[in-house]
Structure 1
Amino acid sequence: MVSDTIQRDITISASIDKVWAALTEEKHIKEWFGDEAEVDLRPGGAIVFGWAPHGRFHGKVAAVEPPHRFSYWWARPADTDPAPGNQTLVEFTLSEDGDGTRLRVIESGFTALSGDQELAVKENTEGWHRELDELRAYVEA
């Protein structure tokens, strides 16, 4: 049975405001999450993340609650708009943890995807592991 949810928790040695900026500002996002980013940071705003070898992934902002919660729907495959059957929900939750920030990422909705759900879970699990390590390295540098 395919899992509907991916979750990863990390601690970053940086202020919550610095981590929030890295998650929500285009100039920072493209430093750790792909090589292209467009973000209209408001509920319903368009969002695009691009990876040269993989294409551009389109989404729609779901929630913006600075500096504690940011979420968006995004589509798979690349170059499609999010819609029922091709989208998952990514939710970032930030909380202060001593001098650092605890970041939780939950991506859900895999069992509602048409297509190969197991492959989607596998690729995105590996992707979040790699990308969040890059986020931590970027923010802590």
Structure 2
Amino acid sequence: MEFGSIEREIYVDASPEVAFEVVSSPEHISEWWTDRTEIEATPGAVGELVWGDRAKVVPIKVVNAEPPRLFSFRWCFPEDKVVDTADSLLITFELTPSGTGTRIRLTETGFREMGWEAAKLEEQYLDHSTGWDRFVPRLGEYLARLVSTP
């Protein structure tokens, strides 16, 4: 198995503008992925993703924000320190209008570039892959609830 990138795609019955807000705004991200998020959808902005009562805190840095079509950020920095030269994982959400809704394509790359030993590379890749198998459907379910609420 090649541990290069993870890709997931989902169709949602929401506009690209609404979908962009849901993948890039703290109040929405915490509804489908994290327990709390602090970030601005501005390139270069630094924030954090929090699970549990600060049990797990992961710094993130926004790479690109082009509403309503693209949002990307880096995370999983070595020693959890945001350093521009550090290897890290890159998550990209590409939003494409499709019919009356939006196709959301999530890509996570950079696993091989992290410099992990083979066992850790496989473990991290499978952990993230399993995570996206859970969270991408939750993203779709949250968007469905959001757009159906009057």
TM-score (norm. length: structure 1)? 0.91
1 or 2, which has the higher strand percentage? 1
1 or 2, which has the higher helix percentage? 2
Counterpart secondary structure, 1:63: strand
- Tell me the number of residue pairs that the alignment of Structure 1 and Structure 2 aligns: 139
Distance 1:123 1:76, change over 3 A: farther
Amino acid at match of 2:143: V
Distance 1:117 1:82, change over 3 A: farther
Preserved contact between residue 25 and residue 40 of structure 2 (Cα < 8 Å): no
Preserved contact between residue 73 and residue 90 of structure 1 (Cα < 8 Å): yes
What is the alpha-carbon distance in structure 1 between the residues aligned to residue 59 and residue 32 of structure 2? 17
Q: Deviations over 1:81-117 (max 9, x none)?
A: 24424x1000110011101110001100000113311
Residue 47 (structure 1) shift: 2.5
Preserved contact between residue 2 and residue 111 of structure 1 (Cα < 8 Å): no
Preserved contact between residue 31 and residue 138 of structure 1 (Cα < 8 Å): yes
Q: Which moved more, 1:109-118 or 1:29-38?
A: 109-118
Aligned identity (percent) is: 29
Q: Deviations over 1:23-55 (max 9, x none)?
A: 111111111111010112211101211111850
User: Aligned ranges for residues 30-49 of structure 1 at < 5 Å?
Assistant: 30-49=30-49
Residue 76 (structure 1) shift: 5.2
Gaps of 5+ in 2: 146-150
Matched, 1:88 2:89: yes
Counterpart for residue 108 of structure 1 = 109
Counterpart secondary structure, 2:80: coil
Q: Which moved more, 1:48-57 or 1:19-28?
A: 48-57
Counterpart secondary structure, 2:43: coil
Structure 1 runs, 4 residues or longer, greater than 3 Å off: none
Matched, 1:4 2:8: no
What is the alpha-carbon distance in structure 1 between the residues aligned to residue 134 and residue 42 of structure 2? 27
Counterpart for residue 62 of structure 2 = 61
TM-score (norm. length: structure 2)? 0.86
Amino acid at match of 2:89: T
Matched, 1:128 2:132: yes
Q: Which has the larger radius of gyration?
A: 2
Gaps of 5+ in 1: none
Counterpart for residue 26 of structure 1 = 26
